[in-house]
A = this chain, B = another copy of it.
Amino acid sequence: MKKPTPFIPKWQNKAPEKGSFRSILKWGDPNEYKNPSMGFLNVIKQGLGLSDSDFKKMQKLGEEKIKDTRVSMISESAILLFENIVGKENLFVDTYERLKYSSGKAMEDIYKLRENIVDKIPDLVLHPRDKEDVKKIIGLCNDKKIPVHVYSGGSSVTFGLDCPKGGVTLVMSTHMNKMLGFNEKNQTITVQPGMMGPFYEDLLNHAKKKLGTKKRYTGGHYPQSFEYSSVGGWVVTLGSGQASSYYGDACDLVISQEYVTPSGSFKTHEYPGTATGPKVNDIMKGSEGCFGVLVAVTMKVFSYNPENSKAFTFMFPDFEKAAKAAKQICQDEFGMPSILRISDAEETDVAMKMYGLKDGILDKFMGLKNLKPGQRCLLMGKTNGEKNFSKNVAKQVKKICKKNKGLYLTGYPMKKWYKGRFSDPYMRDALNDFGVLIDTLESSVTWDNIHNLHKQVRAYIKSFPNTICMTHASHFYSQGTNLYFIFITNMKDIGEFRTFQQGVIACIEKNGGSLSHHHGIGRMMAPWMEKHLGKEQMDVLRSIKNHFDPNGIMNPGGLGL
């Protein structure tokens, strides 16, 4: 008997039309696609109770053209003043540009675009050419009490780009994306905030050739949104890269910052350590455009020695043992792996299927070792740094994993994940086309609360029928880690999805997780901030906000301020 030909959905593999909603909502390169593998598609079907027929009819694709209907609330005379600052070619009032530069990548952002909803957009989009432009814009906006928002990479997943009060959006990535200085002695680079991740990293990796340095460098910061994220965005949203366990979170990488605020401009000193009172450099990190506009940032750079890197993967009998091993890796003081990840049982099963490892030799071998689907958990990562250091980290990781019943699976699955790590977001669009909704929420957690938080949030998510919930921890500290929840549903109504997502946030908050580990606050978490930090701490942030921005023009409503 012939095996039936497996059904493959007709994925929408063509570049979006110019001027369409789809051209805004689609992740990444217009010409690039990544469709779910058959393994992953089967996971989705099974998890969401869907059949082939659900993948035969596409949902709203957002292919409609955006009509230029919305009137700008900024007067013609004011627009002329902005034009005098940035030039006509750097000023846009058409709806397309205004929608584009206020759309992020949360599920709800994308859903709205598919529904052709034009909402919370600025009145005006400006592409400042330099710091002086920014100063003049902020001065003018402050005089006229016009709200100001900042856009660089556009990869916010927390409604960080919404402009509920209109105003202007400054796009930093168009012109303000240049290197301002490289100091090899101090191992620092100074860049404008709109420099994008890949350009930044490429410049550093090829510094010998491009900058005439003695060594090659890396920024050590690779968030999943790397390709569509900017250096400034990393800093003002307190991002973390996938290799943060070794290189540090964005906040650890910042040596100095220069800001333009309604109350004045300043640049902090470049000392790596000082005792001259509370550090304004720290106070500005994570300010999400609510205090002022970041116009330059000096970052630490590191030696680039990918040849020293060692990849590893282990399979543990359960999440408790994987977490125990990870905790010990963090606390044993042999240095940290750059990448370290542990996946819970559901994510592990999905990963096995996604990467075609399920039902293979590896799977059979694991069966023999009593590593059961639905229980077993992946730990993977890689090391960096000086050769012996890197080797010793890998050696100690191996020792600890073995002691905790981890089975060594070679570096292969890690390398496979590493290769595709930035392209996974493309798959979301493909699944969205058939009505499958995917989003994520993430939280910081101390070691003593990891299992409680994991269980409670998972239980909440799984209480919704036909929901996939994959969880991993990917940023590690001696004192704790983060939990990253990915949920997939086929709820038909965005209202239903919103209520569900709010429920997840409530569950995280209630069970001792932080509102965000590295996605920032945006307007998604803003309403929770007072409850989470308490009135006293919010009052501190409010007082700083009030100092910098007495007229409340800087990203109004951001951070809950």
The contact string, 1 if C-beta is below 8 Å from chain B, for chain A 49-62, is: 00000000000000
Pair B392/A183 contact, Cβ less than 8 Å: no
Question: Looking at the complex, which of A196-204, A349-357, A533-541 is the stretch in contact with chain B?
Answer: A533-541
Most buried by B among A276, A283, A534: A276
Pair B478/A272 contact, Cβ less than 8 Å: yes
Pair B448/A480 contact, Cβ less than 8 Å: no
Q: A187-B331, A273-B240 are in contact. Are A479 and B300 (CB under 8 A)?
A: yes
Pair B271/A445 contact, Cβ less than 8 Å: yes
Pair B300/A521 contact, Cβ less than 8 Å: no
Residues of chain B lying within 8 A (CB to CB) of residue A72:
none
Residues of chain B lying within 8 A (CB to CB) of residue A188:
479
Residues of chain B lying within 8 A (CB to CB) of residue A446:
183, 185-186, 270-272
Pair A518/B385 contact, Cβ less than 8 Å: no
- Give Cα distance in the complex from A395 to B388, angstroms: 10
How distant is A379 from chain B, measured CB to nearest CB, in Å? 18
How distant is A283 from chain B, measured CB to nearest CB, in Å? 5
Pair A516/B280 contact, Cβ less than 8 Å: no
Q: A272-B477, A540-B283, A544-B544 are in contact. Are A521 and B277 (CB under 8 A)?
A: yes
A237 part of interface (Cβ distance < 8 Å): yes
Residues of chain B lying within 8 A (CB to CB) of residue A183:
446, 448
The contact string, 1 if C-beta is below 8 Å from chain B, for chain A 263-292, is: 111101111111111111011111110000
Pair B185/A541 contact, Cβ less than 8 Å: no
A520 part of interface (Cβ distance < 8 Å): yes
How distant is A196 from chain B, measured CB to nearest CB, in Å? 20
How distant is A149 from chain B, measured CB to nearest CB, in Å? 16
A207 part of interface (Cβ distance < 8 Å): no
Pair B386/A447 contact, Cβ less than 8 Å: no
Pair A271/B540 contact, Cβ less than 8 Å: no
- Give Cα distance in the complex from A212 to B547, angstroms: 48
Q: A276-B529, A520-B275 are in contact. Are A302 and B392 (CB under 8 A)?
A: no
How distant is A451 from chain B, measured CB to nearest CB, in Å? 11
Residues of chain B lying within 8 A (CB to CB) of residue A263:
536, 539
Q: A275-B237, A276-B529, A514-B276 are in contact. Are A268 and B333 (CB under 8 A)?
A: no
Residues of chain B lying within 8 A (CB to CB) of residue A277:
238, 286-288, 521, 529, 533, 541, 559
Residues of chain B lying within 8 A (CB to CB) of residue A475:
273
Q: A266-B536, A389-B392, A547-B540 are in contact. Are A278 and B283 (CB under 8 A)?
A: yes
A128 part of interface (Cβ distance < 8 Å): no
A310-327 contacts to B, CB under 8 A, are 327
Pair A334/B517 contact, Cβ less than 8 Å: no
- Give Cα distance in the complex from A268 to B396, angstroms: 34
A501 part of interface (Cβ distance < 8 Å): no
Closest to A389 in B: B334
Q: Which of B265, B275, B287, B448 contacts A239 (CB 8 A)?
A: B275
A190 part of interface (Cβ distance < 8 Å): no
- Give Cα distance in the complex from A537 to B532, angstroms: 28
How distant is A401 from chain B, measured CB to nearest CB, in Å? 15
A303 part of interface (Cβ distance < 8 Å): yes
A515 part of interface (Cβ distance < 8 Å): yes
Pair A282/B280 contact, Cβ less than 8 Å: no
Pair B533/A238 contact, Cβ less than 8 Å: no
Residues of chain B lying within 8 A (CB to CB) of residue A384:
333
Closest to A519 in B: B275
Q: Which of B186, B477, B516, B537 contacts A268 (CB 8 A)?
A: B537
Residues of chain B lying within 8 A (CB to CB) of residue A540:
280, 283, 544, 547-548
Residues of chain B lying within 8 A (CB to CB) of residue A276:
238, 286, 514-516, 521, 525, 529, 532-533
Q: Enumerate 12 A-B pairs (CB-CB under 8 Å) in ascending A order.
A: A183-B448, A186-B446, A272-B444, A272-B446, A275-B518, A275-B519, A277-B288, A278-B285, A278-B544, A280-B540, A282-B283, A543-B547
The 8 residue pairs across chains A and B that have the minimum distance between CB atoms: A543-B547, A272-B477, A238-B275, A266-B536, A271-B444, A334-B386, A272-B479, A282-B282
Q: A272-B478, A282-B282 are in contact. List 10 more A-B contacts (CB 8 A).
A: A185-B448, A187-B447, A251-B273, A269-B533, A272-B477, A272-B479, A273-B444, A276-B521, A276-B533, A539-B547
Chain A residues within CB distance 8 Å of chain B: 183, 185-188, 237-240, 244, 249, 251, 255, 263-266, 268-280, 282-288, 300, 302-303, 305, 327, 331-335, 384-386, 388-389, 392, 395-396, 444-448, 475, 477-480, 482, 514-521, 525, 529, 532-537, 539-541, 543-544, 546-548, 559
